[in-house]
Amino acid sequence: MKVQTKSKKVNKAWLNSHVNDPYVKAAQKDGYRARAAYKLKEIDEQLKLIRPGDTVVDLGCTPGAWSQYVRRRLSPDGAAVGQLNGRIISLDLLPMEPIEGVQYIQGDFREESVLAQLTEALQGGKADIVVSDMAPNLSGNGTTDAARVAHLVELAVDFSCHHMKPEGALVVKLFHGGSYDEMVALFRQTFKVVKPIKPKSSRDKSSETFLVGMGLK
C-alpha cells in the first residue's frame, strides 16, 4: 500500500497554487521568465523610478525577469527587442539566458573581483537605479539566515553609495523579522526618502518585502 507523505501533499498543493497563480499566468502571457517581474513593475509604477536613458544595475538577476522588465521600460515602444534608450548591467552567481541589450556578468557579488567587473562595466559612469532581488540560500537557522540577508543588503547599499548618482534609487528585497529593523535603520541613515513596499504580486504567506531608498544623503 502506498502512503502519501506530508511533503508530497505540500509539494502538490504548492504546484497547484503555482499553476493557478494569476501572476504566473500573466508572466507566461507577457513573456516574462518569472512572476517576479510584476513585483518590480508595481514598485516602479508606484514610485516612477525608471526613466528613458537611465543606467540600471540589476543585482541577483537570474532568471532575468527584472532585467526583462527594465529592458521594456527603456525601450521607446516598450518592446522586448529592438531599440534601447539606456543601459542595463545585470549580475548573478547563477547563469542567465541572454536578454537583448542587457550586459550580463556572472559571479559572486561578495567577491572584490566581481565588483571590479561591475565597476568596469559602468565605464566610469554611475547608475541611476540599482535593483536587487538577491537572496541567500536559506539554511533554516533564523539567526544565520538573517545575517546572510543583511550582508547582501549592506553590500547593495555600499555599492549604491559608491556607484549610484546622488539622486538615484535603490530597491532591495528583504524579509520581516531577523535583521529587518536594522536594515530599515541603515536605509534611513543612507537615503533621504525610504519606502517599504509589499507588492500585491508578492505571495501573502511570504515574509518578503522590498525597501526603496531614494536620494543619497
Q: What are the residues whose beta carbons fall under 8 Å from the beta carbon of 166, sequence distance 6 or more? A: 215, 216
Instruction: Let me know: does 86 contact 56? Beta carbons within 8 Å.
Output: yes
Q: How many CA atoms lie within 13 A of 10 on its CB side?
A: 3
And the C-alpha cell for 76?
521607446
- Catalytic choice (2, 6, 8, 173): 173
31: left (phi > 0), else alpha (psi -120 to 50), else beta?
left
And the C-alpha cell for 203?
505571495
Instruction: Let me know: does 194 contact 188? Beta carbons within 8 Å.
Output: yes
In the residue annotation, 173 being an active-site residue is answered as: yes
Cα 65 to Cα 35, 71, 116, 185, 216: the distances in Å are 8, 10, 24, 29, 27
Q: How far is CA 179 from the centre of its chain?
A: 18
Torsion of CA 114, 125, 97, 29, to 10 degrees: 140
Q: Phi and psi of 4, rounded to 5°?
A: -80, 120
Active site residues: 173
